[in-house]
Amino acid sequence: MSFQTSAGETLDSPTDWLDPDKAIEERIEGILQQLTLEEKAALCHAQGKFSSPGVPRLGIPELWYSDGPHGVRAEINWNNWGYAGWTSDSCTAFPALTCLAASFDPSLALEYGRAIGQEARYRKKDVLLGPGVNIYRTPLNGRNFEYLGEDPCLAAAMVAPYVQGVQENGVAACVKHYALNNQETDRGHIMVEVSQRALHEIYLPAFKAAAQAGAWSFMGAYNQYNGEHCCHNDLLINQILKGRWGWDGVLITDWGGAHDTRQAVFNGLDIEMGTYTNGLTSESAFGYNDYYLADPFLKGIKDGSYPIELLNDKVRRILRLMLRTTLAPRRPLGSFATEAHARTAREIAAAGIVLLKNDKKLLPLSPGLRKIAVIGENATRNLMQGGGSSELKPWRSVTPLQALGLRYPDAEIVYAQGYDSGKAMYSQEGVPTHDPARLHEQAVQAARDAELVIFVGGLNKNHRQDCEAADRKSYELPFGQPELIRDLALVNPRIVVVLLSGNAVESSWAAQVPAIVQGWYGGSEAGNALVDVLSGDVCPSGKLPFSFPEKLGDNAAMSFGSLSYPGDGKRQVYMEDILVGYRWHDTRKIPAAWPFGHGLSYTSFSLGKARLDKKTCQAGEQLTVSVPVSNTGKCRGAQVIQLYVSQPKASVPRPAKELKAFSKIWLDPGESRTVEITVPVDCFAYYDETRQDWHLEAGEYLLRVGTSSTEIHTSLKVSVQ
């Protein structure tokens, strides 16, 4: 069988490229030979809001995408941003990635990826738009809840198994937002200025880990860097991602992230999605053939403006993605909204919960409680709604109030809303039904009469809280919560404050309450997971993946003025350079309210003397640190052993300490084991801007073993030759 292209050439249509026994690269070349220029160009841009074309003539199916770092989003209409109204797209909502990061458990990241990949596969999605690995730079960033914290080592360790778990299902992970998308304010155009050293040491390692883990696709960021938008950025994509890292995947725009045909052609963009929209709502009358990589690209190929080799490289990458996903010969079937997935979500949510404070051992809760006052809007709110593209339609949603009722059926549980995050509502008589002062008074009265108070507050997915497209306006808890917490504590000192958020919050009220829990956004099983920890059914083991500054000005990015954050509307300068998060707090000796890596337990642990397997080493070698750990308490629990590295006498400025490895260990009461942590000596290197490469400097290094960035138990010296 043969056919004639619009250019007059005659091509055969053999199907031997379908043979699953042939190598992928051989099959790619077989398909490439059969494609017309028009078919090739069509592969490079969208045909709908969440779909890009296949090749119908050859039976190659289209690609389907879904938002979903925390769950597979409900179906969106073909050509607008409205929901399609399906009744079969209620998913399992998994915890937000800040919660996963707080688990400090890469094995849970693998299970997370597997479960969400199964859901995406069942829903016939080929590309899952996540995970996000942008670094937590400031607590005002509206999308911090979607990311894996402030430390590149932690983010890298967690993203690799997540990616592998998703892709076991024949679904591509799409790692985002590459790169330097660390705020929502002016995200579509802001020009980020950052040193090459900070770029490579802080902002790229998690992306590199994802690429090395075999991620099949990346999503470009909206912002600009080095004079170009990140979705078609020569340095980031051609030179680093596809060049130095040797990555063979597909670079996809964020929706509306392309701005220029020539840059898109030459600077590494492969698939263009969402152009002429703002990524969320509005769109113009332009059609899909008007995209930068559509008719303008095809015209440039035909008139010789653009080399055919660049088109073929994009098409090879897209075909490789298809052969890994929609054309994979033995692709799993997936599963959707199962009890097994609910159990996974619950386990991860509980593992990420961080016990910040537990004076007077108020937690775990006494099993004989008779009257509990539950106060706060977040005790009953669906926190999967809102937030932008991460919004989910869960098939089940268990709130903290519901879960407490199930766990303590014999207790009298009194609920008071306490505060309201929306506009006041009025009755027909004009009387406020959600009057803030009245809600406050009712909550204080409920607390006064209770045996125990559980306040469930924090942030939510409202605009300018934890939400896409806008940053937070304030570091404080909103809606009068600080004043409410203080008043509750005055009438009842037995109070547990539960913060549900994806961001750090100001906590000047903390001294007045005995117990504080950081509960994150826990997904479908958030309530059950929270009560698992509050009740003691699960011993808390989460650690903070980012620092909580005492006040906003103590954060590195915020301490240099508006040009550092949020910029002047056109550009911003990362003036803190490599001193992000705890690197800033510890190096500048600015104590955090709650430091990176902090998290308490219901049991107690002792760390014995750490030992190092060698005292001298050189590049290419590995070091092993052995740490005896004992559970000296009364319940089974987990401790995260954290290994930080310092270089006291360096030729360049270096942080006081940098996390280089960690290990989470579960122990029964009275049990002791030795934790062995192995690190490559090469990870001690810094990025040398003169060499434009990593440089391992000879000299003495300190390996600091601890349980947070400020709780260091042992320091070991090693000499790098």
The single residue listed with the structure tokens 């690190």 is 679
Sequence-distant (6+) residues with CB within 8 A of 17 are 26, 27, 28, 30, 31, 34
C-alpha 568 chain-centroid distance: 27
C-alpha 208 chain-centroid distance: 15
- Indicate which residue of 254, 270, 487, 532 is catalytic: 254
Q: Extract the tokens encoding 669.
A: 């009461």
Instruction: Return the closest-CA partner of residue 21 out of 323, 258, 280, 235.
Output: 323
- 498: three-class secondary structure by DSSP: strand
- Cβ(503)–Cβ(473) below 8 Å: no
Question: Which residues is 355 bridged to in the sheet?
Answer: 517, 600
d(CA 583, CA 547): 10
Sequence-distant (6+) residues with CB within 8 A of 437 are none
Q: What distances in angstroms separate CA 524 from CA 79, 345, 423, 527, one per listed residue?
A: 29, 7, 26, 8
**Helices 339-352 and 526-535 meet at what angle, rounded to 10?**
50
Q: In one letter, which amino acid is 529?
A: A
Instruction: Return the closest-CA partner of residue 134 out of 574, 489, 486.
Output: 574
- 103: three-class secondary structure by DSSP: coil
- Cβ(384)–Cβ(391) below 8 Å: yes
Sequence-distant (6+) residues with CB within 8 A of 61 are 54, 322, 326, 327
Within 10 Å of residue 698's Cβ, how many Cβ atoms?
9
Instruction: Return the closest-CA partner of residue 578 out of 150, 191, 192, 210.
Output: 150
Q: Could you write out the three-class secondary structure of 608-665?
A: CCCEECCCEECCCCEEEEEEEEEECCCCCEEEEEEEEEECCCCCCCCCCCEEEEEEEE
Instruction: Return the closest-CA partner of residue 311 out of 38, 98, 496, 508.
Output: 38
Q: Does residue 436 have a cis bond before it (omega within 30 degrees)?
A: no
d(CA 176, CA 210): 10
Q: Extract the tokens encoding 659.
A: 């996390």
Under DSSP, the state recorded for 413 is E
Question: Which residues is 659 bridged to in the sheet?
Answer: 644
Residue 254 annotated as catalytic: yes
Burial of 696 (0-12, 13-18, 19+ CB in 10 A): middle
d(CA 674, CA 454): 38
Label the pairing between strands 63-67 and 172-178: unpaired
* 412 φ/ψ angles, rounded to the nearest 5 degrees: -85, 120
Sequence-distant (6+) residues with CB within 8 A of 388 are 142, 143, 280, 467, 468, 469
d(CA 399, CA 383): 9
DSSP string computed for 130-160: --B------TT-TTGGGS--S-HHHHHHHHH
- Cβ(214)–Cβ(203) below 8 Å: no
Within 10 Å of residue 648's Cβ, how many Cβ atoms?
11
| Residues assigned a catalytic role | 254
